[in-house]
């Protein structure tokens, strides 16, 4: 797609569609306010569901726009201390008290696009937090050095994922949970996959239902940095 076509597409997606969604949101709020004494419990529940669908669609539009931008931005790779990067992500994310997030060993300095790697770790940690079903949750971050690549992992002791869903979870807007149970735009893993592949690496998951999940990804290693 040429730049001019892309810009037109992005304008329609990010402006026109979001404008319509805002109008729907305002309309549902008006209906709720003007008819609060006449709405049945079922009617109120349907309005809540409609508002949730609007918010989810708004998030999906943001995710699709972000997905389309990956690889088009002028972002220069730079040496990034992954220890500091993850400390920042954990601090900003404000991990709940019942979940412990641990870096198993000191992480390397990696030449990469800082903002992109921040997104990847945010998405992986967010997923682990969002779907945690244990009273004492654990998230463990580790790495190893392979020939020509760094290999990183983010492991959790959450509900796990059936093997038949391993490919599905990296596709746009896919989630294994009811969209009414958990508010999720379903784009985090898709964005992470695109970022990692654009950087010359790959991403995958190893998991068993009930035993947690481990997400792995690789990045090219700068031999000069060891």
Domain ranges of the chain: 3-69, 78-225
The pLDDT score that the predictor gives to residue 65 is 72
Across the range 36-58, mean pLDDT stands at: 84
The pLDDT score that the predictor gives to residue 64 is 72
The pLDDT tens digits for 77-117 are 899 999 999 999 998 888 999 999 999 999 999 999 998 99
Ranges 8-22, 60-74, 127-141: which has the least confidence: 60-74
pTM tops 0.75: no
The pLDDT score that the predictor gives to residue 3 is 56
Rounded Cα distance, 121 and 21, in Å: 30
The pLDDT score that the predictor gives to residue 21 is 85
The pLDDT score that the predictor gives to residue 183 is 39
Of the pLDDT bands very low, low, confident and very high (cuts 50, 70, 90), residue 48 is confident
The pLDDT score that the predictor gives to residue 179 is 45
> In three state form, how does the secondary structure of the chain look?
CCHHHHHHHHHHHHHHHHHHHHHHHHHHHHHHHHCCCCCCHHHHHHHHHHHHHHHHHHHHHHHHHHHHHCCCCCCCCEEEEHHHHHHHHHHHHCCCCCEEEEECCCCCEEEECHHHHHHHHHHHHHHHHHCCCCCCEEEEEEEEEECCEEEEEEEECCCCCCHHHCCHHHCCCCCCCCCCCCCCCCCHHHHHHHHHHHCCCCEEEEECCCCCEEEEEEEECCHHHC
The pLDDT score that the predictor gives to residue 70 is 67
Domain spanning 78-225 has what CATH number?
Answer: 3.30.565.10
Mean pLDDT rounded to a whole number for the chain: 84
Neighbour-count burial of 98, counting CB atoms closer than 10 A to its CB (0-12 exposed, 13-18 middle, 19+ buried)? exposed
205 contacts 124 by C-beta, under 8 angstroms: no
The pLDDT score that the predictor gives to residue 133 is 92
Give the residue with greater pLDDT, 172 vs 31: 31
- Considering 13-27, 31-45, 53-67, the range whose residues carry the highest mean pLDDT is 31-45
On the question of pLDDT at 35 being above 70, the answer is yes
Of the pLDDT bands very low, low, confident and very high (cuts 50, 70, 90), residue 185 is very low
Give the residue with greater pLDDT, 3 vs 137: 137
The pLDDT score that the predictor gives to residue 178 is 47
């Amino acid at each position: 797609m040429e730049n001019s076509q892309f810009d037109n597409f992005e304008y329609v997606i990010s402006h026109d569609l979001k404008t319509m969604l805002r109008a729907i949101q305002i309309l549902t709020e008006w209906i709720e306010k003007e008819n609060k004494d006449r709405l049945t419990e079922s009617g109120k529940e349907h309005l809540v569901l409609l508002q949730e669908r609007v918010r989810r669609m708004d998030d999906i539009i943001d995710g699709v726009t972000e997905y389309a931008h990956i690889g088009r931005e002028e972002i220069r790779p730079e040496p990034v201390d992954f220890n500091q990067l993850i400390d920042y992500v954990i601090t900003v994310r404000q991990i709940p008290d019942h979940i412990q997030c641990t870096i198993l060993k000191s992480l390397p300095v990696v030449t990469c696009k800082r903002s992109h790697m921040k997104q990847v770790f945010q998405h992986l940690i967010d997923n682990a937090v969002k779907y945690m079903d244990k009273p004492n949750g654990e998230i463990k971050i580790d790495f190893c050095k392979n020939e020509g690549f760094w290999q990183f992992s983010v492991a959790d002791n959450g509900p796990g994922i059936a093997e038949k869903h391993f490919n599905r979870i990296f596709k746009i807007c896919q989630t294994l949970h009811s969209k009414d149970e958990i508010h999720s735009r379903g784009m985090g893993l898709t964005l992470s996959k695109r970022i990692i592949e654009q950087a010359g690496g790959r991403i995958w998951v190893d998991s068993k239902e009930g035993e947690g999940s481990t997400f792995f990804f690789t990045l090219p290693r700068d031999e000069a940095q060891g």
